[in-house]
Amino acid sequence: MASMLSSLAFVICVLSFLALTPQAAPATAPFLFPEAQSAVLPDPSTYFAPNLLSSPLPTSSFFQNFVLHNGDQPEYIHPYITRSANSSLSFAYPSFSYTSTVVSTSPFEADLTIFASNSNRNGHHVVSDFNDLSVTLDFPSSNLRFYLVRGSPFLTCFVYRPTSVSISTDHTIVSASSASGSNTKFIVKLNNDQTWLVYTSLPTELTDSGSSTLTLKEFSGVVRFAVMPDPDPKSEGILDHFSSCYPVSGAAVLENSNTLSYKFEKIGGDLLMLAHPLHLKLLSNATVLQDFKYKSIDGDLIGVVGDSWVLAPKPIPVTWNSVGGVKKDSFPEIISALRRDVDALSSTQSTTSSSYFYGKLVARAARLALIAEEVAFPDVIPVIRTFLREKIEPWLDGTFSGNGFLHDNKWGGLVTKSSTADPGADFGFGLYSDHHFHLGYFIYGISVLAKIDPAWGEKYKPQAYSLMEDFLNKDKQSNPNYPRLRTFDLYKLHSWAGGLTEFADGRNQESTSEAVNAYYAASLMGKAYNDAQLEATGSLLTTLEIQAAQMWWHVREGGESQIYEQDFAKENRVVGVLWATKRDSGLWFATAEAREIRLGIQILPVLPVTEVLFSDAGFANELVNWALPALSRTGVTEGWKGFVFALQGMYDKEGALEKIRSLKEFDDGNSRSNLLWWIHSR
């Protein structure tokens, strides 16, 4: 045990040294928008250790609930749902319920709760460390530290001073015994049919303290907890074999445009972790234990042996224009629409001050410029260029009277003027909600303008990069004013949109297609500025976001992933809002019956990359047939119809073209020109 503690101390010292080692400063300081004075942001100092407060902090992370309000809402640290409250940590191996409208985990009941027996239990946890795949929770008043590493079948507790540690449950303990008299492994059976294994780094006694509570008296060392995933003795043997090696943190490395690596810091021998279905689809180098699995809302989690993983998604084309091109005999119809849409720009007034809707306005006009390039009609580009300059510059130089971007030093990121006093303004942008959605539209417009007007692009490059790095900052060396990858979850491999809002169901995201747009736009910005690294990073995240959307948001009845049960899969072809612990058919702003909106919010904006997001024409046909009956409802707008018809063009070009020609109105981020370009590029 002494050697184990020495090893742990060495690892912690090395990590601390690396964290404190001065890094080379960038050649020029990144652009900073004016400082914000926000009245709505929470204070991060309550739950983050003091040494972490000097750097930007995560605002859409997998552990966000741990640092908001009372810090006692649960988070999903696969395969367990984990809750911290009253100087204790509780965890549950969840079961799931399925209806035709919702998939959800069972209400939280603590299968096990760990706390110091003599603690007054009035304290709270402190986040002492975090990384892409892990968070460390300390309970200073209890001498307990928990290494919560995502995908670990074990929950690991380090008791760093001799302490009596209590283990309680919301259920009834049926039995608790030492395994084979070892006094380093204990088997705890509960009346909910669960069997938990408890491993200790030193021999000790586990005594019954009554009231469904067990106690390790005056213990110091490492305690690990794992639920038996099934009754098979082979599973218990696997847990026994890997119980002495534990991870203390996990980081992800974005190496190039088609490789993402996981590096787990561990103590001990061979490391056992769990991979979700998308991991398994992309994993290229690890030993997989196919018969060792835990259930999760994201599909079965399968055992993987190794402290280094390589995930290699197939790269997708990130192009300015359509992949297949537009036939010349279609040019006249598109050009005719372009004339009308560009002429209308001169009379377009900025009636919105919303960062979201304003961004869509900018991106819509930028699409017209690229369509004009593709159909060889440069005559309209000067008008579009002028429009984009006039609309974008006030947001970059701070002269837009209705709103604007500011920099928040408390958490490290952008907020809008409107959202510093009103938490609901700009859809919660001031609480870091939806940043990739809003900024993705701006970045798309800026990238196109930089392409068609390089001199303008160079002038405003610092501001442009500041917007992009708010949500796509690779590391502190790139920009020390923003956290790493604000919205992208490097374990789940998709984004979250919830920001600094506490949710009982954890993080959430509604529109995958707008998330795709954000990383796609960033990749285009890399093209516009000849920044190969940005282009590659944007491309990789675009690829992962698309594959995650196809895995979890696109619902295929009887599909290869078999993630969703029959009741839900039969009634749904897309998830409305995907939460960490729930799948909802409804939307934030529409009911489940509005199928055209549920589909449209997973399509918009229509871009060249959309054909990759919906590359399966057969599934596109299923989606359209599922949504079409909803178009007969009273009050359905033509803007949402346009997205259904666009998807129809994936397999029925002529039928979709006829419907699109009949439309009189379009979504505020869409246009007749864009839909005609889309159909004629099929």
Active site residues: 434, 510, 514
What are the E-state strand segments in 169-245?
173-178, 185-190, 195-200, 206-208, 213-227
Distance CA 473, CA 481 (A): 9
Q: Which two tokens stand for residue 310?
A: 């390589």
Residues 6 or more apart whose CB falls under 8 angstroms from that of 55 comprise 412, 476, 480, 483
154, 411, 444: which is closest to 301 by C-alpha? Answer: 154
Q: How far apart, in whole angstroms, are the C-alpha atoms of residue 198 and residue 178?
A: 9
Cβ(629)–Cβ(539) below 8 Å = no
CA atoms within 13 A on the CB side of 47: 26
Contacts of 233 (CB under 8 A, 6+ apart): none
Angle between helices 653-661 and 672-680 (to 10 degrees): 170
CB contact burial 348-359 (16+ within 10 A = b; e otherwise): eeeeebbbbbbb
3-state secondary structure of 136: strand
Whether omega for the bond prior to residue 315 falls within 30 degrees of 0, making it cis, is no
Q: Which tokens in the block code for residue 173?
A: 């303990």
Side-chain half-sphere CA neighbours of 657 within 13 A:
14
Per the structure block, which two tokens stand in for 84?
């911290």
Residues in the chain: 682
CA torsion through residues 654, 658, 661, 663, sign: negative
How many other β-carbons are positioned within 10 Å of the β-carbon of residue 236?
19
Contacts of 672 (CB under 8 A, 6+ apart): 337, 340, 341, 660, 663, 666
What DSSP string describes 578-596? EESSEEESS-SSS-TT-HH
- Angle among Cα 178, 169, 214 to the nearest 5 degrees reads 40
* Three-point CA angle 209, 214, 216, nearest 5°: 105
**What residues does 583 pair with on adjacent strands?**
103, 578
The crossing angle, in degrees rounded to 10, of helices 381-397 and 461-471 is 70
Long-range CB pairs of 243-246 (<8 Å, 24+ gap) are: 243/154, 243/185, 243/197, 243/199, 244/199, 244/201, 244/268, 244/269, 245/269, 245/270, 245/271, 245/272, 246/147, 246/152, 246/154, 246/156, 246/222, 246/271
Which two tokens mark 93? 């191996």
3-class SS string, 24-89: CCCCCCCCCCCECCCCCCCCHHHCECHHHCCCCCCCCCCCHHHHCCCCCCCEEECCEEEEEECCEE
